[in-house]
């Protein structure tokens, strides 16, 4: 079932999501709905707070372009994006690596806003599947960027927080309009 995506400035987007101690049938249903919702909105990632659930659960799928990364290792083994996406994960821990890289990002909770965001180019993410399997994911490029963006959501952090001061100033009016429309 497609769920409504919550838009900025919904307070749930600023909350730290609760860790998931037990994967209940409701959590499985939520995760399945989030995958459907993300594809419906043509996104490459969606975090539970974006559908109003303050939980450490997110989805990423960048498998539309195998060339958007230069490597992917899962638990030390080489994998393709198609083998692992859509990646549904809970309770992530993130280690940032490599040089910083700037690229344009969007966010499903900000329908009309895009902007350059600088982030580390590589990550090592330790996450858990809904079946309790631990996955250590090492990757770079768009997959690393999307994982960072979604994990930010789980801690109440939004991509606008990572924009330059000049960009923040430039989008001030848009944010104000969003606050009026969705607040």
Query: What 3-state DSSP class applies to 17?
Result: coil
Q: What is the rounded CA–CA span in Å between residue 60 and residue 47? A: 9
Q: Compute the least distance from the CB of residue 131 to Zn ion, in Å.
A: 25
Interface with Zn ion (CB under 5 A), residue total 1
**Is cis: bond before 15, omega within 30 of 0?**
no
Complex with Zn ion: residue 23 or 113, whichever CB lies closer: 113
Which residues ranging from 85 to 124 are in contact with Zn ion (CB under 5 A)? 107
Site for Zn ion in 52-81 (CB under 5 A): none
Smaller CB separation from Zn ion, 57 or 107:
107
* Residue closest to Zn ion (Cβ): 107
> Could you tell me which of 44, 34, 33 has the C-alpha nearest to residue 1?
33
CA distance 31 to 38: 10
Rounded to whole angstroms, how far apart are CA atoms 127 and 55? 14
Min dist. Cβ of residue 45 to Zn ion (A): 7
| Least distance to Zn ion, CB of residue 46, Å | 8
Nearer to Zn ion, 54 or 74 (CB): 54
- The yes-or-no answer on residue 150 being catalytic is yes
Catalytic pick from 29, 78, 150, 177?
Answer: 150
Give the nearest distance from C-beta 176 to Zn ion in angstroms.
Answer: 20
What residue spans of 24-171 are helical by DSSP H? 25-40, 81-84, 141-154, 165-170
Contacts with 118 (C-beta within 8 Å, 6 or more apart), sequence order: 100, 101, 102, 162
Question: Taking CB under 5 A as the rule, does residue 147 contact Zn ion?
Answer: no
Is the Cβ of residue 80 or residue 164 nearer to Zn ion in the bound state?
164
By the criterion CB under 5 A, which residues form the site for Zn ion? 107
Catalytic residues: 150
């Amino acid at each position: 079932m497609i769920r409504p995506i919550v838009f900025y400035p919904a307070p749930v987007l600023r909350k730290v999501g609760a860790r998931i101690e037990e994967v209940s049938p409701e959590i499985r249903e939520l995760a399945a709905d989030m995958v459907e919702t993300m594809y419906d909105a043509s996104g490459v990632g969606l975090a539970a707070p974006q559908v109003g659930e303050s939980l450490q659960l997110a989805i990423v799928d960048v498998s539309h372009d195998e060339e958007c990364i230069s490597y992917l290792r899962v638990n030390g083994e080489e994998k393709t994006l198609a083998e692992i996406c859509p990646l549904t994960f809970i309770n992530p821990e993130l280690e940032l690596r490599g040089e910083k890289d700037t690229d344009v990002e969007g966010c499903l909770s900000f329908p009309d806003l895009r902007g350059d965001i600088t982030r580390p180019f590589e990550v090592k993410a330790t996450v858990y599947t809904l079946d309790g399997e631990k996955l250590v994911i090492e990757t770079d490029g768009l997959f690393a960027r999307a994982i960072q963006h979604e994990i930010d959501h789980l801690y109440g952090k939004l991509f606008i927080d990572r924009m330059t001061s000049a960009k923040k100033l430039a989008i001030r009016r848009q944010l104000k309009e969003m606050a009026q429309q969705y607040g």
